[in-house]
Chain A
Amino acid sequence: MKDILRMMRFDLLSAAPLALVPLIVIVLALTGIVFLIFPGAAAFMLAGALLFILPQGTIAEKSDFAKLYGTLPVDRRNITRARFLFIFTCLFVAEVFALVLITLSLQFRLNTLLPNQNAEFMQVAAQTFNSSAASNYTLTVVLFTVACFAFSFMEMTGQIFGRESDLKVIFIAMGILTVIGVAFTILSDRDIIPAFNIEAFVEKLKSIRTALCIGIHIVLLGLNILFGEITANALAKREL
């Protein structure tokens, strides 16, 4: 576990000089929007996490890290496992930060300090502060879920099949989702399968919201660990 933590720290320090300035810009910009206009915008803090995740492959390739990994006194599998935990951790930290921001934003309601409260735009903004806090949190958790799964899956396919396959994976994933969505719509229109009532579904989930949220995070952590093991096993047979 110590080696994994060291490698996560290594990845963080690799990306930090490149990510810091854009991260500060994103945080400042989003904080302003979150506190003054739309609390749910905090969900986009996840973009800050991506500043640390996305460059890893490019940095490793450009700096010939394959040779470095061959000289470090670290098990190769732990190098791979660390990358997946790094992805999860970055997104999780961003998510927690976003949820804290939403909470503070709804608490302080700084939007009321802005001028022209009667303007249409300000009325719309005020509604986002008055609506249930849950919808703001839900947006953040949903984005975290999608991002965590997508980027760890892409990391797995990128490391096993090469980074050039990332675009292929995205198109295939989009294609599959489209096919499922279209098929579902057609089948429910023809009453072959019951129509999905999203409002009723969300209502049902309200009672188990917290447990569901915790469950989603545990499942995603488990998936990250699984993808990490699959990747580590695949790469262990290859030469550096």
Chain B
Amino acid sequence: MENNILEIQGLCKTYDDFSLQDVSFSLPRGYIMGFVGQNGSGKTTTIRSILNMAQFDSGKISVFGLDSVTDSIAIKERLGVVFDSLYLAEHLNAKQIETQLRPFYKDWDSKEYHSRLKAFNLPEDKKVGDFSKGMKMKFMIAVALSHKPELIILDEPTSGLDPVARDELLDILAEYIEDENRGVLFSTHITADVERIADFVTILHNGKVWYTGTKDDLAADYAVLKGDAKDIPEGVMDKLIGYHNYRNGFEALIRTADLAGLPESLEHEKASIDEILVYIAKEDKHEGHSAHDAV
């Protein structure tokens, strides 16, 4: 069995006004990866490429060791997908949707499906279009889990959900990944969700991978530096990311490796994923003084 459940190498895809450039990352079996980035950074495009819904210009995508283009159908037998909005017949109820979908999957488990519906408190006789947003999300997960997928891909599953529904969804994913042969890739711009359950993080920025690796390494590699601008030693400005001057001083992101030798008047603290995204964006707006290369 391959160690990486998902491998993307050198993925490039160009649209008129946007392009994915050399996107590469891997998701090992048994782990959850948070796929984060601003709106429009290329997360959905990447996911659509994985699902062979978008034709990419170059690169290679492997899922379960299979090629995402030539073995697309075999992959989808073992893959569960949840999008940010319902993509099932809204005028049908859960029973009718099961009747529709069951024949497509060799491993469809009706017992699992009905027990998920019960566990999620989803009525079987109500039209799914009449479900609340949280119920729709849970229903899509129930459908996705019912054919025993090895990998679940979720595209912004928590957007628009209330905190309780978000919490429930994350619990479901945490329970799902207890089987070490499975994997979860979920894209989101709600970084708190990533902080909570992800093991790996890939940050996408303007179509490029800014970081890919473990969440713990990300937290260890970057810090927020604060203080008086006058205290910044020469040569350090170029290392600051998303530099921003406030009335009482400055703030910027910096690699922890570059903290060595800085004056004590400058304070630093651990950077959250949220802060990292903000400073990356500020860097883009030329508020910073250095160009930070993508990973």
Of B86, B92, B104, the contact of A6 (CB 8 Å cutoff):
B104
Choose, from A34-42, A66-74, A107-115, the stretch at the interface. A66-74
**A9-B103, A17-B92, A17-B96 given as contacts; is B86 within 8 A of A70 (CB)?**
no
Nearest CB to that of B153 among chain A residues?
A71
The docked-state distance in angstroms from the alpha carbon of A70 to that of B68 is 12
Interface residues of A in 1-43 (CB under 8 A from B): 6, 9-10, 13-14, 17-18
> In the complex, are the beta carbons of A63 and B51 less than 8 A apart?
no
Find chain B residues with CB under 8 A from A73 CB.
Answer: 73-77, 104-105
Residue pair A239, B54 in contact (C-beta under 8 Å): yes
Could you tell me how many residues of chain B have their Cβ less than 8 Å away from some Cβ of chain A? 29
- Contact B89 A59, beta carbon cutoff 8 Å: yes
Q: Is A64 an interface residue (CB 8 A)?
A: yes
Interface residues as binary, A65-105 with B (CB distance below 8 Å gives 1, 0 otherwise): 11110111111000000000000000000000000000000
Q: Say whether A74 contacts B104, CB under 8 Å.
A: yes
> B76 touching A18 by the CB < 8 A rule?
no
A123 to B254, CA, bound (A): 97
Task: Kindly state the separation between the CA atoms of A14 and B100 in the bound complex, as whole angstroms.
Answer: 8
Q: Does B48 contact A (CB under 8 A)?
A: yes
B186 to chain A, nearest CB (A): 15
Q: How many residues of A contact B (CB 8 A)?
A: 23
CA distance A71 to B52 in the complex (A): 9
Q: What is the CA–CA distance of A71 and B73 in the complex, to the nearest angstrom?
A: 9
A-chain residues with CB within 8 Å of residue B87 when the two chains form the complex? 63-68, 71
Shortest CB-to-CB span from B52 to chain A, Å, is 7
- A14: chain B residues within 8 A (beta carbon): 89, 92, 100
A62 within 8 A of B: yes
* A62 and B90 in contact, given A70-B51, A71-B76, A73-B77 (Cβ under 8 angstroms): yes
Interface string of B86-116 (1 = CB under 8 A from A): 1111111000100111011100000000000
A9 vs B96: C-alpha distance when bound (angstroms): 12
Chain B CB within 10 A, most for which of A63, A65, A240? A63
Q: Is B151 an interface residue (CB 8 A)?
A: no
Known contacts: A17-B91, A63-B87. The answer to whether A71 contacts B100 by CB under 8 A is: no
Known: A65-B87, A70-B48. A13 touches B74 (CB 8 A): no
Interface of A is mostly: helix
B53 contacts A by Cβ under 8 Å: yes
Once bound together, how far apart are the Cα atoms of A9 and B101, in whole Å?
10
Any A CB within 8 A of the CB of B39: no
Residue of B nearest to A10 (CB): B100
The residue in chain A whose Cβ has the minimal distance to the Cβ of B84 is A67
In the complex, what residues of B have CB within 8 A of residue A71's CB? 51, 76, 79, 81, 87
Q: Which residues of A contact B89 (CB under 8 A)?
A: 14, 59, 63, 65
| Across-interface contacts of B90 in A (CB, < 8 A) | 62-63
Residue of A nearest to B47 (CB): A70
Give, as a whole number of angstroms, the nearest-CB distance from A65 to chain B. Answer: 7
Whether the Cβ atoms of A13 and B91 lie closer than 8 Å is no
Chain B residues whose CB sits within 8 angstroms of the CB of A68 once the complex forms? 87-88
In the assembled complex, B131 has its CB within 8 A of some CB on chain A: no
With A18-B91, A67-B87, A72-B76 in contact, do A239 and B55 touch (Cβ < 8 Å)?
A: yes
For residue A239, which residues in chain B have a CB less than 8 angstroms away from its CB? 48, 53-55
Cβ of B85 within 8 Å of any chain A Cβ, yes or no, is yes
The reply to whether A64 and B104 form a contact with Cβ atoms under 8 Å apart is no
Q: Determine the chain A residues whose CB is within 8 A of the CB of B88 once the complex forms.
A: 63, 68
Contacts of A74 in B (CB 8 A): 73, 104
Contact assessment for A240 and B105 in the assembled complex, using a CB-CB cutoff below 8 Å: no
> Do the beta carbons of B103 and A6 come within 8 Å of each other?
yes
Chain A CB within 10 Å, residue with most, of B75, B85, B89, B103: B89
Task: Name the 7 nearest CB pairs between A and B, nearest first.
Answer: A67-B87, A73-B76, A70-B53, A240-B53, A71-B81, A64-B87, A73-B77
Residues of A within 8 A of B (CB): 6, 9-10, 13-14, 17-18, 59, 62-68, 70-75, 239-240
A selection of 19 A-B contacts at a CB cut-off of 8 Å is: A9-B100, A13-B92, A13-B99, A14-B92, A14-B100, A18-B91, A59-B89, A62-B90, A63-B88, A65-B87, A67-B53, A70-B51, A71-B51, A71-B81, A73-B73, A74-B73, A239-B48, A240-B48, A240-B54
Task: Apart from A63-B87, A63-B89, list 19 A-B contacts with CB within 8 A.
Answer: A13-B92, A13-B96, A62-B90, A63-B86, A63-B88, A63-B91, A64-B85, A64-B86, A65-B87, A66-B87, A67-B83, A70-B51, A71-B81, A72-B101, A72-B104, A73-B75, A239-B48, A239-B53, A239-B55
